[in-house]
Structure 1
Amino acid sequence: MTLRQTALRRITVAPVAAAPLRVHVPRRSLFSGKDTRRRSGRAVENLDIRRISAQSDEWHRNRRTFLWCGAIAGVLSFIYTAWKLKVELSKPVKLDANLPSSDPLSSPNAADRKVVVHDEEGREIVATGNSTVPTFPRTLALPAFTAPITTPSPDQTDRLTHTITTPSGTTEYTLVGLGLRTVTFINLQVYVVGYYVATADIAALQSALTKKVNPIATTLVAGEREELRAALLDPAEGERTWDELLSAGVPARSAFRVVPVRDTDFHHLRDGFVRAVQARASPAAAADDSFGEAMRQFRAVFNRGSVPKRKELLLVRDETGRMSIAYDGGANKKEGRPAGRQLIGVVEDERVSRALWLNYLAGKKVASEPARKSIVEGLMEFVERPIGTVAAQVVPVVSARV
């Protein structure tokens, strides 16, 4: 037996060692297929991109809806608050307060008795309902502004030393009604305005208003007063009535007292007055050169500086329709400004003052609706008394110190 044969025999009969058992366990990887994950038997996370995107879109949609609901609720609450303030401010201001029911001087009908309030100096005052300008005087003693003045030069626009007033005699004016002037939809308060009529001219105003409703009456009963009130509050009829009265010189002498409740200037006041006159002037007047010249004079009067709050501006209309403008800015030695009311301008054209008066008294849109309603209520107190009498002189009066 050869050596080769012997070696082959040994290999053949030698026991074969058992090979180890190998089990293939698939490994999860980025590129593992779907079938491999299933065969592995391990839990896998199944991400649905479309479902996640839909959930994200729904969340953002709900978020936008919530934000819009909050914004709309805020705007509605803001509008509601502004409306409530407007309703409260539009209520007419009574020129007198009623006595409390516990007061021994009160009558069974407390509304029939008026209270005249006096300040510490004994002057009659009326509450305005505004904290900055809390009261207005019940009466004014004004001089007869009759002397014309020249237009101030540019270097004198902030000085009031070039004024002229009539020193002899004064005229008493009685407050008819007052109210607050507001602007913009948020009712930004600008000034308190009061309408005064010369006490001696109230009888003529009583007669004209009474005869308008009942030509043979000397006073109006309840139903007739309601008819007159409706006519004065009606935009068209009220403007026509006041235009006729002012054109006829009734009342002969009247005034508007303007007191700002915030710091302003003459230019802002001028712009408001000019817009009002232009809106109320007739087309014939607007096309007249003399009316245009009167408007230039009116603008020149307000070519001045600032008007601090609580300072008084007077617009006075006399029996000819001429308007005198007076300002009380208080004494200022540095500017050479004297104390008291000073005449700063005169506008001769009657159409300017009539248009400005109509801006407060009547029309579809007035400068102050609370003032217009308060003025109408004051006129109702006039016409319920016999012609020639003043309500304050007839109704029992009780003084109250404030």
Structure 2
Amino acid sequence: MFRQSALRQASRPIPGAIRAAPRRTFLSGRSSKQTGRAVENLNIRRLSQQSQDYQRNRRTFLICGTLAGGVSFIYTAYRLKQELSKPAKLDSSLPSTDPLSDAQAAERKVIVHDEDGREIVPTGNSTVPTFPRTIDLPAYTSPLADNSGTTTPETSSLVPTATTEYTLVGLGLRTVSFLGIQVYVVGYYVATSDIAALQNALTKKVNPIATTLVPGERDELRTALLDPTEGEQTWNGLLAAGIPARSAFRVVPVRDTDFHHLRDGFVRAIQAKAGSDQGSDDFGEAMRQFRALFNRGSVPKRKELLLVRDEKGRLAVAYDDGGSKKEGRPAGRQLVGIVDDERVSRALWLNYLAGKKVASEPARKSIVEGIMEFVERPVGTVATQVVAATFV
């Protein structure tokens, strides 16, 4: 009895004592009761979908950022090009007598000097970067031409000693096709001593009693020369009257070409401007002579081709292939041939100067701006300034 009573007392719980947690062994079963700890229920499909959504959104964001950056870069470059191409704004505080105060002075040609001190004009093209401001040309049409209007191999190698100075009026780049393929840089030169006659004729066209044009009159003349119909009528009348008496187009290719390619372009231009003259037999013979001049080989880039018109309208073609006596080729410009019919040179000149479609629109605009420089000065003073600048 005493022993059983002692055992019951020992089995009773002691007040305030901490009950020990039941031991868990490897063989004991898991309790079905909740332990109170957080349980992570992982959904693999949901996590995979969230990862795919994140990656898709990330790619979309990166693509949009790339496109926005590209568009911003292109737009900024475009606006920068527009701003750089605008003419410089002139200081309105300058006195009216200062030539820089005129708003039209913003379109003037920039003239710089090379290392030899010669005046050159930038073209804006990397292959043919500059054109000379003045060139000296011989009278190719006399006495080299024979009675047939062409030249012989013996006479074509002769170079007259007397030369005439020509002054650059304007220049530009010729491009073809909608791709804007660059072909050559062309510059229009007028004999310096003949500029006065051109000044006088254009000045009298706007104001018959003036010797120079004020800004408003120059705007009127500029509009007339740039108008397809009126501009062609004006230049056609001037050239038919022999004004200017002597002029030339200097053509320098910016890519390798050949005489046949240049001939085809010139012939199409002449036919487009000749009009009713194409039906006459003598004009057809003149065009045959013109085509024969270009039965030659290649014209490498940066080589000079000259189209020279004299006081009678005769056309002389000269070419400088850069040869030298050491290479067995004549050095300098060599006469290729002459066409006597004045209508050929006049139609070819109109191809650059006026009309609805010209060979080079930048050249036409540059020529018009060069003429604006002429007519803003008193008649006869431009040639004096050019000669004076030559001897300074």
Query: TM-score when scaled to structure 1?
Result: 0.68
The one of 117, 121, 127 aligned to 2:112: 117
- Please tell me the residue identity of whatever aligns with 1:298: F
Q: Deviations over 1:85-128 (max 9, x none)?
A: xx98xx89x9xx9999xxxxxx7947769864111111110000
Between the aligned partners of 1:396 and 1:333, the Cα distance in structure 2 is 35
- Please tell me the residue identity of whatever aligns with 2:119: E
**Bigger relative CO (Cα 8 Å, ≥ 6 apart):** 1
Q: Deviations over 1:195-234 (max 9, x none)?
A: 0000000000000000000000000001100000000000
What's 1:359 paired with? 351
What's 1:379 paired with? 371
Between the aligned partners of 1:260 and 1:371, the Cα distance in structure 2 is 15
Aligned partner of residue 234 in structure 2, secondary structure: helix
How far off is 1:152 after superposition?
8.1
Aligned partner of residue 390 in structure 1, secondary structure: helix
Q: 1:141/1:394 Cα in 2 relative to 1: closer, same or farther (>3 Å)?
A: closer
Retained in 2: the 8 A contact 1:161–1:337?
A: no
Retained in 2: the 8 A contact 1:98–1:115?
A: no
Between the aligned partners of 1:323 and 1:98, the Cα distance in structure 2 is 42
What's 1:277 paired with? 270
The one of 152, 171, 180 aligned to 1:178: 171
How far off is 1:383 after superposition?
0.1
- Please tell me the residue identity of whatever aligns with 2:310: D
Between the aligned partners of 2:385 and 2:253, the Cα distance in structure 1 is 31
Between the aligned partners of 2:229 and 2:99, the Cα distance in structure 1 is 39
Retained in 1: the 8 A contact 2:192–2:383?
A: no
Question: Is the counterpart of residue 148 in structure 1 residue 129 in structure 2?
Answer: no
Q: 1:114/1:359 Cα in 2 relative to 1: closer, same or farther (>3 Å)?
A: closer
Retained in 2: the 8 A contact 1:175–1:194?
A: yes
Retained in 2: the 8 A contact 1:197–1:255?
A: yes
The runs of at least 4 consecutive aligned structure 1 residues that moved more than 3 Å come to 97-100, 107-116, 149-153, 332-336, 394-397
- Please tell me the residue identity of whatever aligns with 2:288: R
1:3-402 equivalences in 2 (<5 Å)? 109=100, 116-145=111-140, 146=142, 147-148=144-145, 163-283=156-276, 285-331=277-323, 336-390=328-382, 393=385
How far off is 1:392 after superposition?
8.1
Aligned partner of residue 227 in structure 1, secondary structure: helix
Retained in 1: the 8 A contact 2:173–2:182?
A: yes
- Please tell me the residue identity of whatever aligns with 1:131: S
CA RMSD of aligned residues (A): 3.5
Aligned pair count? 301
How far off is 1:282 after superposition?
2.1
Unaligned runs of 5+ in 1: 1-76, 101-106, 154-159, 398-402
Retained in 2: the 8 A contact 1:260–1:310?
A: yes
Between the aligned partners of 1:318 and 1:118, the Cα distance in structure 2 is 29
